[in-house]
Amino acid sequence: MLLQALVACAGVMLRPVAVNREMDITGGRISAEASFTFRGTMGIDRGVSVGFRAISLRLGLDTDTDPEQINTLMALTELYCVVYQTLARGVPATITHERA
């Protein structure tokens, strides 16, 4: 679900940036991959951390836009994608319990 949120957020941010900059993008694909080990996540090996070790976001765009503008588009998408920024920067997180 985390990777789906990342892909969705990147797509939602990429499109308006492209429109604002008058970039003609006729299609494309956004995908995300992550690496992790089940040994940590399943509690098999307590020496292995739980969670993703690395995340990769890939943008494949159908466009004749020049590479410099594509680089700008990618940089702005990265800058304004809340999910990407949250993952890249890391934030304090807590978990609490309250009676239902």
- Residue 47's pLDDT band, with cuts at 50, 70 and 90, is confident
The rounded percent of the chain whose pLDDT value lies above 70 is: 100
Domains: count for the chain: 1
Q: For residue 95, name the pLDDT band (cuts at 50, 70, 90).
A: very high
> Is position 95 within any domain?
no
For residue 38, pLDDT beyond 80 = no
Domain containing 62 equals 2-89
- What Cα–Cα distance (Å) separates residue 54 from each residue in 2, 27, 36, 87, 88? 13, 27, 7, 10, 10
Is pTM beyond 0.75? Reply is yes
In the predicted model, what is the mean pLDDT of residues 59-78? Answer: 94
Asked, for residue 100, whether it belongs to a domain, the answer is no
